[in-house]
Amino acid sequence: MPEVIFAGPEGRLEGRYHPQKDRDAPIAIVLHPHPQFGGSMNNKVVYNLHYAFYRLGFTVLRFNFRGVGRSQGEYDQGIGELSDAAAALDYLQSMNQNAKHCWVAGFSFGAWIGMQLLMRRPEITGFVSVAPPANMYDFSFLAPCPSSGLIINGTADRVAQPKDTVTLVGKLHEQKGITVTHEQIEGADHFFKDEEAHMTPMISKVSDYVKRRLTEGSR
């Protein structure tokens, strides 16, 4: 998988880019967890999400936010990271101008950034938010949420409390014109550490959801 370096708002950003042969392939970016708590594009959840999208026929880009790995700049409370995500999407779109579908997936802090990107970019047709930290960050900007997506979390998550995720999903369910699907992985912690019991079922639910959405062709 080619390593790529592309221009971000604060200098170079480092990524991994996985193109399909099909020029019309849908595109997806995958956003990593909190930079100050060891989050990077090589996080296991991020890596598995990347390959899940690739196996479904997507051209995929995951990258390091500013100040992580070889990406230039420094942590910016989420404001700069949202700009980084927008720059990554610009880069991905510039390489894939025929893509009919555009998805964003994020884990933890990356889910929060991904949902904000959704609000800025009407071309995003679907999202996957894994363990969104609704207890730590304000998600009230999702009014209205512009496209349908999947929110998935573990029932034993002590970082992003499940009850706060349920509250967030409840608010999104009140909105018309979109469908937010909510799945929970029984017994999984924030990082889906148990490969067989938690990570594999989580990725499987994500893949099933995305596959279904692609065949429906709906927003």
Q: pLDDT tens digit string along 19-70?
A: 999 999 999 999 999 999 999 999 999 999 999 999 999 999 999 999 999 9
Supply the mean pLDDT for the chain.
96
Across the range 126-143, mean pLDDT stands at 96
For residue 1, what pLDDT is reported? 60
- Domain of 38, CATH number, reads 3.40.50.1820
For residue 219, what pLDDT is reported? 46
Q: Helix count (H) and strand count (E) of the chain?
A: 5, 8
For residue 194, what pLDDT is reported? 97
For residue 193, what pLDDT is reported? 97
| 2 against 94, higher pLDDT | 94
pLDDT at 216 over 90: no
Band of the pLDDT at 157, cuts 50, 70, 90? very high
- Nearest residue to 120 via CA among 139, 146, 95, 93: 146
The total number of structural domains in the chain stands at 1
Q: What whole-number distance in Å separates Cα of residue 89 and Cα of residue 83?
A: 10
Q: Which domain holds residue 108?
A: 1-215
For residue 112, what pLDDT is reported? 98
Residue 125 near residue 102, CB atoms below 8 Å: yes
Across the range 164-188, mean pLDDT stands at 96
Residue 41 near residue 61, CB atoms below 8 Å: no
Across the range 147-151, mean pLDDT stands at 97
Across the range 83-108, mean pLDDT stands at 97
pLDDT at 125 over 80: yes
The H or E element spanning position 89 is helix 79-95
CA gyration radius, the chain: 16
Tell me 170's DSSP state: H
* φ, ψ for residue 172, nearest 5 deg: -70, -30
